[in-house]
């Protein structure tokens, strides 16, 4: 597998990254819309790296054979997706109760007094995995996918030629 990644030219890696990122975000939307799994605040934040990487990938594909731009863009993608992986691991750790999550995800927030009482609104909890696939929550899978994209981007950035 490592030799296959090393043989992948940067422009081809960008295409793989773009397709993987797009498929991942499409799957998140499908779980939300079709499956009825409402995302928690951390789930929504985990989508931000994809929302950044997809347009960057499109720009890099349109950039032509500018090696410095392609390498810089791939390094930026690696950095963004590494940060996304950290956020996903943080969220997965909250789901496994390894550490406490933010108060916004606790489910008890609401306003009282002269303002409308919002305490009865449904808050999607960050500390409860809505779904586990092969033992991993969606946050766990996101961590793996983010690391895969980051690793691919880094490996492609190190390769010479476009």
Strand partners, 91: none
Predicted confidence at residue 5, as pLDDT, reads 53
Q: What is the mean pLDDT of residues 14-37?
A: 91
- Which tens digit of pLDDT belongs to each residue from 78-92? 999 999 999 999 988
Do 73 and 60 form a contact (C-beta atoms < 8 A)?
yes
Predicted confidence at residue 103, as pLDDT, reads 72
Lowest mean pLDDT among 81-90, 138-147, 153-162: 153-162
Q: What is the mean pLDDT of residues 108-115?
A: 47
Which of 127 and 136 is assigned the larger pLDDT?
Answer: 136
Predicted confidence at residue 17, as pLDDT, reads 96
CA distances, 78 to each of 39, 53, 116 (Å): 25, 9, 44
Find, among 90, 101, 141, the residue nearest to 125 by Cα.
Answer: 101
Predicted confidence at residue 161, as pLDDT, reads 60
What's the pTM? 0.80
């Amino acid at each position: 597998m490592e030799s296959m990644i090393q043989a992948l030219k940067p422009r081809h890696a960008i295409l793989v990254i773009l397709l993987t990122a797009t498929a991942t975000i499409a799957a998140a939307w499908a779980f939300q819309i079709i499956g009825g799994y409402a995302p928690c605040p951390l789930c929504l934040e985990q989508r931000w790296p994809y929302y950044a990487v997809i347009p960057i990938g499109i720009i890099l594909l349109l950039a032509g054979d500018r090696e410095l731009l392609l390498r810089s863009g791939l390094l930026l993608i690696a950095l963004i997706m590494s940060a996304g992986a950290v956020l996903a691991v943080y969220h997965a750790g909250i789901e496994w109760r390894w550490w406490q999550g933010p108060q916004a995800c606790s489910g008890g927030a609401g306003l009282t007094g002269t303002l409308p009482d919002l305490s009865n609104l449904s808050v999607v909890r960050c500390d409860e995995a809505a779904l586990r696939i092969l033992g991993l929550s969606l946050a766990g899978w996101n961590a793996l996918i983010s690391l895969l994209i980051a690793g691919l981007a880094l490996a492609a950035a190190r390769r010479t030629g476009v």
